[in-house]
């Protein structure tokens, strides 16, 4: 070994480290646009205005964060003469992690230091409202007039103003058209097509226990059949075609361009954004009349740091201009500055007001025939349960499920074996039992016993189906 060299090298490393640490001192500079109007009104540039801080927790992606941050900061500066800075909390993970986090926080303290919770499916917001960790919002009448209380059977806005939808999301089918064609496979247009034996082992799906949007899409698949049992059979035929269960709905959407799966289900804008990039290859479609549109809510958290600012931000998001930001292309005066967001506004009037100007992928959910009417009672009774049931029946047992499905395909679906395959555990065998069991799931010991029981039940059942002499 050559000692002097190591010494010199050490010096070099130190120098590099010092240089890097020096670079840390410089902070990135913020945007300074639109100063002229401010100077005229307040006699100050944006940087000179007093600063207020809005803290949000949200699973929304950085594009959404950036566009709303930019638009609102500009609006707020002009309207109120303050400079808003945004702090977006991320607790690692999607909407479930956010719910867990907030619950933990409010279990131990009266305040969370967060003003606004935004995005993640109405299920979580209903839970939060029930647990009393939301602050009542004052919604303007023009907002309430243009957002229905319920739509397609789903609540769009909390009657007490604890939360309100800020956008709606539809669910649809997303597929690699080029490869499906090359492989001479049919292109799916309806939910049931995803259960086709020809798509066995080709469908990328998301884990409903981790992804609220995936759970909602499964609920819709169930509800697209007249009975709970038939709905479950349809869902199970799709689950049985699963290639994989991805952690998030986004992973499932990304499985297409990366060549992992040929077909997935996903939220509309996940699909449409990718379709816009690869128009010849990838296709997103909304199964007409088979999907409802779910609200993507916004709410103010209990004991916010800055209630006034939080309320103003909510007002902005729900204003016509804030709503248009979801759906307009870049370049439009009210549109986003960098990237089109491609999401569905919740306000009815926006579709009319900006007709012809919205992105081509935006459909009007309020148009007749587009939307499925949801059975609200069943939705409420089964949504939480379905997440656990799908997790137990499919996610936790994916290999056994696939083996059973494969066996069914090989033996050309003998009715008795299909019946065995579709059989539900006693405690969810009927709609009534579902509602009953769903209530029991609130207790965590009960939940553990029930869900563990399901995992074993389905595993045994799939094993039987896959066995040669099962019929």
Partner 1 sequence: MIRNLLPTLASGRLRSTFREERPAALVAAVIVVVITLFLLVPIMETISVGFYSEGELDGYWFERVVSNPILMSELGNTTLLAVITTAVCIVIALPLAVIRARYTFRGINVLAMLLLLPLILPPFVGAIAIKRFLGQFGVLNIMLEDLGLIDMAEGLPPDWLGSGFTGVVILQALHLFPILYLNLSAALANIDPAYMQAARNLGASRFQTFWRVTLPLLMPGLFAGGTIVFIWAFTDIGTPVIVGYEHLTPVTIFKELATSEVTPRTYSLVFIMLSASVSFYLMGRFFLGRNTQVGSTKASVAAETTELGALGTALAWILFGGVVLLSVLPHIGVVLLGVSDHWVNSVLPQEYTLRHLIFVFTSPESLNSIINSLKYAGIATVIDIVIGAAAAWVIIRSKIVGRSVLDGLCMLPLAVPGLILAAGYVAITAQGSWLESFGPTENPFVILVVAYAMRRIPFVVRGVSAGLQQVSEALEEAARNLGASRLGTGLRITAPLIAANIIAAAVLTFSFHMLEVSDSLILAQTPEHYPITKQIYRLATSTGSPEAVNQAAAMGVYGILLLGATMAAASLLLGKRLGMVFRA
Please, how many CA atoms are within 13 Å of residue 201, restricted to the half-sphere of its CB? Answer: 9
CA–CA separation, 365 and 151 (whole Å): 9
143 or 386, CB closer to partner 1? 386
CB of 177 to partner 1, least distance (A): 10
Which of 95, 94, 72 minimizes the C-alpha distance to 84?
72
* Contact between residue 372 and residue 152 where contact means Cβ atoms under 8 Å apart: yes
How far, in Å, are 200, 234, 420 from residue 410 at the CA level? 11, 19, 16
CB of 352 to partner 1, least distance (A): 25
Q: What is the dihedral of CA 4, 8, 10, 15, to 10 degrees?
A: 170
248 or 345, CB closer to partner 1? 248
80 or 278, CB closer to partner 1? 278
CA–CA separation, 455 and 223 (whole Å): 23
* Contact between residue 401 and residue 239 where contact means Cβ atoms under 8 Å apart: yes
CA–CA separation, 330 and 99 (whole Å): 33
221 or 395, CB closer to partner 1? 395
20 or 355, CB closer to partner 1? 20
CA–CA separation, 87 and 81 (whole Å): 19
End-to-end CA distance of the chain: 74
282 or 324, CB closer to partner 1? 282
CB of 230 to partner 1, least distance (A): 27
CB of 94 to partner 1, least distance (A): 8
CB of 209 to partner 1, least distance (A): 4
CB of 418 to partner 1, least distance (A): 23
266 or 318, CB closer to partner 1? 266
124 or 311, CB closer to partner 1? 124
Query: Any residues with CB less than 8 A from the CB of 332 and at least 6 apart, and which?
Result: 324, 357
Q: What is the dihedral of CA 406, 465, 192, 266, to 10 degrees?
A: -70
CB of 409 to partner 1, least distance (A): 13
How far, in Å, are 31, 64, 165 from residue 73 at the CA level? 10, 14, 21
105 or 359, CB closer to partner 1? 105
CB of 79 to partner 1, least distance (A): 26
CB of 307 to partner 1, least distance (A): 19
CA–CA separation, 344 and 357 (whole Å): 13
CB of 91 to partner 1, least distance (A): 5
* Contact between residue 143 and residue 318 where contact means Cβ atoms under 8 Å apart: yes
* Contact between residue 166 and residue 208 where contact means Cβ atoms under 8 Å apart: no
The tokens for 192 are: 């049931």
Query: Any residues with CB less than 8 A from the CB of 20 and at least 6 apart, and which?
Result: none
99 or 299, CB closer to partner 1? 99
């Amino acid at each position: 070994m050559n000692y002097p060299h190591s010494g010199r090298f050490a010096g070099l490393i130190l120098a590099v480290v010092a240089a890097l640490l020096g670079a840390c001192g410089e902070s990135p500079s913020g945007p300074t646009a639109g100063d002229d109007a401010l100077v005229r009104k307040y006699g100050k540039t944006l940087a000179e205005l007093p600063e207020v801080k809005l803290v949000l927790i949200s699973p929304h992606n950085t594009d959404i964060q950036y566009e709303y941050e930019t638009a609102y900061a500009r609006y707020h500066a002009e309207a109120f003469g303050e400079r808003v800075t945004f702090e977006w909390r991320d607790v690692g993970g999607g909407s479930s992690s956010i719910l867990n986090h907030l619950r933990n926080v409010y279990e131990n303290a009266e305040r969370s230091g967060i003003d606004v919770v935004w995005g993640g499916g109405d299920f979580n917001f209903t839970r939060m409202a029930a647990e009393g960790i939301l602050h009542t919002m004052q919604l303007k009448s023009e907002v309430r007039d243009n957002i229905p209380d319920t739509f397609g059977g789903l609540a769009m806005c909390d009657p007490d103003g604890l939360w309100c939808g800020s956008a709606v999301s539809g669910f649809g089918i997303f597929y690699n058209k080029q490869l499906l064609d090359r492989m001479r496979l049919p292109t799916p247009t309806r939910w049931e097509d995803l259960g086709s034996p020809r798509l066995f082992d080709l469908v990328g799906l998301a884990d409903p226990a981790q992804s609220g949007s995936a759970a909602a899409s499964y609920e819709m698949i169930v509800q697209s059949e007249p009975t709970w049992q038939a709905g479950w059979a349809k869902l199970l035929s799709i689950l049985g075609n699963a290639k994989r269960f991805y952690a998030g709905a986004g992973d499932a959407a990304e499985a297409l361009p990366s060549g992992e799966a040929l077909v997935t289900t996903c939220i509309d804008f996940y699909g449409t954004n990718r379709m816009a990039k690869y128009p010849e290859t990838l296709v997103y479609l909304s199964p007409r009349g088979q999907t409802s549109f779910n609200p993507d809510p916004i709410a103010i958290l209990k004991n916010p740091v800055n209630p006034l600012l939080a309320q103003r931000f909510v007002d902005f998001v729900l204003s016509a201009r804030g709503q248009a930001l979801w759906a307009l292309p870049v370049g439009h005066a009210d549109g986003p500055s960098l990237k089109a967001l491609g999401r569905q506004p919740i306000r009815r009037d926006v579709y009319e007001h900006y007709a012809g100007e919205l992105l081509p992928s935006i459909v009007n959910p309020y148009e007749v025939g587009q939307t499925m009417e949801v059975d609200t009672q069943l939705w409420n009774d089964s949504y939480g349960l379905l997440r656990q049931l799908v997790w137990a029946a499919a996610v936790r047992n994916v290999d056994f499920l696939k083996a059973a499905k494969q066996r069914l395909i090989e033996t050309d679906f003998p009715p008795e074996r299909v019946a065995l395959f579709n059989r539900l555990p006693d405690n969810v065998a009927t709609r009534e039992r579902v509602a009953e069991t769903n209530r029991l799931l609130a207790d965590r010991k009960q939940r553990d016993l029930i869900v563990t029981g399901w995992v074993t039940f389905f595993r045994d059942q799939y094993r039987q189906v896959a066995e040669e002499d099962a019929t």
